[in-house]
Structure 1
Amino acid sequence: MNGSLLRNREMKRLIVAAALLFAGAIVVSLFWMQFVWDGWNREQTRADLAAIGRVSSIDPKAAEELMSLYGKGYTDADFFRGMEIAGALGYIDSLPMAEYREARMSPGRLFLGVSIVFGLLFAAAGAAAWLAFRRIYRTVRDVSAGADHLMRGDFRVRFPDGEEGDLSILGHQFNQLSNRLQLTLHQLDREKERLRQLVSDVSHQVKTPLSSLLLFQELLSDAGLSAEERETLSEKSKGELFRMERLIRSMLTMSRLEAGIIELRMEATDVVDTIAPLLDTWKPQAERKRIDLTLDTSGPPASFRHDPFWLREALGNVIGNAIDFTPEDGSIRVSVRTTEASLSIAVRDSGPGIDPEDLPFLFHRFYQGKSAKRSGRGGTGIGLSLARLIADKHGGRLHAESEPGQGAVFTMTFPLFGPSAEG
């Protein structure tokens, strides 16, 4: 026997139960055969005595001789001689001599025969149970070994799961567990890489405003500065602090959106109702540059499923970028258009336009175009990439078109049908 199989408690219980069942069957069979034999013996004795009684009514001396022989046993010659006489008289034509001879065998031989039959049956049943349990425990051991591989990071172990039965279900569940663990570890690796990238971006992007703040603080410590110079440096410090706060907030927001921590709360509302309050927020900043910021509401009602807060966040970044690069006395026009399949929101400005070399990289994180570097009006470099990410989360897309000297158009397009539109 396989020692590793016998160490299992269930297999030991199976062997003990089979042994007890076999012994019980033998004992029951013994009592049953003894009962049957006693009954048959009584009937045979009654038949023999009845035959002797009938003979005594014909020949008393012959009956006495039969009684003297009764119980003393017989020889095979006597048995076959009696069978020949009985056969000649026609009493046992339906019972062959050999079968009648076997019917008179002793209880010991009958018990031995039944025991052999029971033994063979139990041996066959035990062998079948042994093979079944061996397969079950082999599968369990394989699953245990597979779990060890998973803990070591080896996800190549697979079990057959295309058959019926609990073992196939166990194999399928193991494979599912392996896939989920692999996916979870992959997601953790992505999160670690995203966190590493975030820390790297923060340290790199915050370095410039921090350096400026340190310089301003050093200049402010000069006792010879006038009140006007101190006020100028103080305003510049506030500007750098505001820029740093906006940068960190934008990076954290983008990281949370990419990680799926923030869930959009989609609702079917008119997009004009979402945009109008946003323009009211940006108008004071536009008016400081005498920029005409307008919303074109001439089209029909345009409703689609979106998250009003995050859509305003995306459009706010686009509008803020347009205000930064539109000169004084310029204009910014926001319009909404719908077709049978999509809805688009366009932000058109009258600025200097975008250099063709900058367009392919415009939505890259922290990218600063040539015009931004020349004018020194560059923002955090993350607003447009955040706006595109929010558009993507809505199932849409954000793209830009521009000709140098002709301004720029940023367009968000969203589908009105499909999974993203249905939410």
Structure 2
Amino acid sequence: MLRNREIQLFFTVLAFFSLAGVLLAAALGSVAAAWSVFAISIVLITTTGIFTWWRYREIDKLSGYLQKISNGDYQLDVRDNAEGELSLLKSQIYKVTTRLSEQSNTLHEDKDKLTNAISDISHQLKTPLTSMMIMADLLSDHRIDDEKRTEFTRNLNIQLKRMDWLVSSLLKLSKIDAGTIAFKKEPILVAELIEKALAPLMVPMDIKMQQVDIQGDKLAAFSGDLNWTAEALINILKNCVEHTAPGGKLSVRYTENVLFTEITILDNGSGISKQDLPHIFKRFYKGSNASDESVGIGLAMAYSIITSQQGDIEVRSEPETGTVFHIKFYKQVV
């Protein structure tokens, strides 16, 4: 503390004025007054020194605390309930420390998610790439007949489309995760939304001779992004179509009340096992009854799109009975 030039100057000034007071009292001819001024000066200088030492000790503690923060230790708590500028400084430092700790945890979680995502993407791309390399080698063989060449070309095209869909879906998910997508807030008629979502699935449903029953209030609506919400419903309906046997039936029900607009999608397909239910919205998760072509990304994308628009989605299912998806878009989130 005493090595600080400001403190040296401060105590020098105090000593100077104390000495000046003593000399002034002595010059006025009062020895008792001179001794009184001297005693009071000693007490004031000592008190000031103790107080300054205490402040320096507290500041030194804060300095050590900040040093630990710079080394990544966010567990210390310096809050106190006393009044004063040091207490306010401690409280502000604690707030900053808490924020830094949260950001650090978020960065670690994002890093883990990125590592897992890269691993999953590599795994998903490895299979079609290997298949394409094999078929490319086979196509280079001039001895294969035209029928085989056509078959290999068709399979190669299928794998290319699968990779294109996978990369496109991962790009969409990455944008949603990063928060770079600005979802629109426009009135959406549920009837229009369902029609838009069913349009690309009519051919697969016709091939499997599946029926769809739609019932609901024609005026039911909510505020959201039509195109992105349709993308979510397409993935949910696609999952229902894939897991419903030929000749099966899909049902869509929708209602609106003062709190939320609800869309319910039902099928009478193979259902989802109890152990798979908690995980079906996880990225790259494939249930026990998933097809070989399944990637496990469609429902994860649907979940991200719906929840990013202050919505909610739940699923109930029984094996060999069917699956029910409940989707709610709330009027206002408190």
Q: Alpha carbons of 1:129 and 1:334: their partners in 2 closer, same or farther (altered >3 Å)?
A: same
Decide which of 18, 21, 24 is 2:17's aligned counterpart. 21
Structure 2: which amino acid aligns with 1:246? Answer: W
Q: State the superposition RMSD in angstroms.
A: 3.1
Instruction: Give the equivalent residue in structure 1 for 2:301.
Output: 386
Decide which of 129, 140, 147 is 2:59's aligned counterpart. 140
Q: Which moved more, 1:18-27 or 1:207-216?
A: 18-27
Q: Note if 1:219 corresponds to 2:138.
A: yes
CA displacement at 1:159 relative to structure 2: 1.9
Structure 2: which amino acid aligns with 1:301? Answer: L
Q: Note if 1:157 corresponds to 2:76.
A: yes
Give the helix-richer structure, 1 or 2: 1
Structure 1: which amino acid aligns with 2:261? Answer: L
Aligned-partner Cα distance in 2 for 1:264–1:302: 24
Q: Alpha carbons of 1:266 and 1:139: their partners in 2 closer, same or farther (altered >3 Å)?
A: farther
Decide which of 310, 324, 334 is 1:409's aligned counterpart. 324
Structure 2: which amino acid aligns with 1:220? Answer: L
CA displacement at 1:251 relative to structure 2: 3.7
Aligned-partner Cα distance in 1 for 2:288–2:15: 91
Q: Which moved more, 1:331-340 or 1:240-249?
A: 331-340
CA displacement at 1:318 relative to structure 2: 0.9
Q: Note if 1:348 corresponds to 2:266.
A: yes
How many residues are aligned here? 331
Secondary structure at the aligned position of 1:337 is classed as strand
Q: Which moved more, 1:325-334 or 1:17-26?
A: 325-334
Q: Alpha carbons of 1:345 and 1:275: their partners in 2 closer, same or farther (altered >3 Å)?
A: same
Secondary structure at the aligned position of 1:6 is classed as coil
Q: Which moved more, 1:261-270 or 1:209-218?
A: 261-270
Secondary structure at the aligned position of 2:117 is classed as helix
Q: Alpha carbons of 1:385 and 1:195: their partners in 2 closer, same or farther (altered >3 Å)?
A: same
Instruction: Give the equivalent residue in structure 2 for 1:399.
Output: 315
Secondary structure at the aligned position of 2:83 is classed as coil
Q: Note if 1:366 corresponds to 2:320.
A: no
Aligned-partner Cα distance in 2 for 1:410–1:157: 46
Alignment deviations for residues 204-227 of structure 1 (CA, whole Å, 9 cap, x no partner):
222211111112111111212333
Aligned-partner Cα distance in 2 for 1:222–1:175: 70
Instruction: Give the equivalent residue in structure 2 for 1:168.
Output: 87
For structure 1, the residue ranges without an aligned partner over 5 or more in a row are 34-106
CA displacement at 1:116 relative to structure 2: 1.3
* TM-score of the pair, normalised by structure 1: 0.68
Secondary structure at the aligned position of 1:343 is classed as strand
Aligned-partner Cα distance in 2 for 1:388–1:283: 23
Q: Which moved more, 1:185-194 or 1:146-155?
A: 146-155
Alignment of structure 1 residues 96-107 onto 2, 5 Å: 107=29
Q: Alpha carbons of 1:169 and 1:309: their partners in 2 closer, same or farther (altered >3 Å)?
A: farther
Instruction: Give the equivalent residue in structure 1 for 2:217.
Output: 299
Q: Note if 1:236 corresponds to 2:155.
A: yes
Decide which of 42, 45, 49 is 1:126's aligned counterpart. 45
Note if contact 1:346-1:409 (Cα within 8 Å) is conserved in structure 2.
yes
Aligned-partner Cα distance in 1 for 2:148–2:326: 43
Aligned-partner Cα distance in 2 for 1:355–1:176: 46
Instruction: Give the equivalent residue in structure 2 for 1:87.
Output: none
Aligned-partner Cα distance in 1 for 2:276–2:189: 27
Alignment of structure 1 residues 42-191 onto 2, 5 Å: 107=29, 110=30, 112-191=31-110
Secondary structure at the aligned position of 1:134 is classed as helix
Aligned-partner Cα distance in 1 for 2:5–2:311: 57
* TM-score of the pair, normalised by structure 2: 0.84
Aligned-partner Cα distance in 1 for 2:38–2:150: 108
Structure 1: which amino acid aligns with 2:153? Answer: S
Aligned-partner Cα distance in 2 for 1:141–1:164: 19
Structure index of larger Rg: 1
Q: Alpha carbons of 1:216 and 1:20: their partners in 2 closer, same or farther (altered >3 Å)?
A: same
CA displacement at 1:366 relative to structure 2: 3.0
Note if contact 1:270-1:301 (Cα within 8 Å) is conserved in structure 2.
no
Aligned-partner Cα distance in 2 for 1:327–1:158: 60
Q: Alpha carbons of 1:17 and 1:282: their partners in 2 closer, same or farther (altered >3 Å)?
A: farther
Aligned-partner Cα distance in 1 for 2:180–2:243: 30
Note if contact 2:252-2:264 (Cα within 8 Å) is conserved in structure 1.
yes
Secondary structure at the aligned position of 1:396 is classed as strand
Q: Alpha carbons of 1:116 and 1:247: their partners in 2 closer, same or farther (altered >3 Å)?
A: same
Aligned-partner Cα distance in 1 for 2:77–2:243: 58
Q: Alpha carbons of 1:149 and 1:372: their partners in 2 closer, same or farther (altered >3 Å)?
A: closer
CA displacement at 1:21 relative to structure 2: 2.0
Secondary structure at the aligned position of 2:270 is classed as coil
For structure 2, the residue ranges without an aligned partner over 5 or more in a row are none
Q: Alpha carbons of 1:134 and 1:241: their partners in 2 closer, same or farther (altered >3 Å)?
A: same
Decide which of 249, 274, 277 is 2:196's aligned counterpart. 277
Aligned-partner Cα distance in 1 for 2:49–2:79: 22
Aligned-partner Cα distance in 1 for 2:109–2:56: 38
Q: Note if 1:210 corresponds to 2:126.
A: no
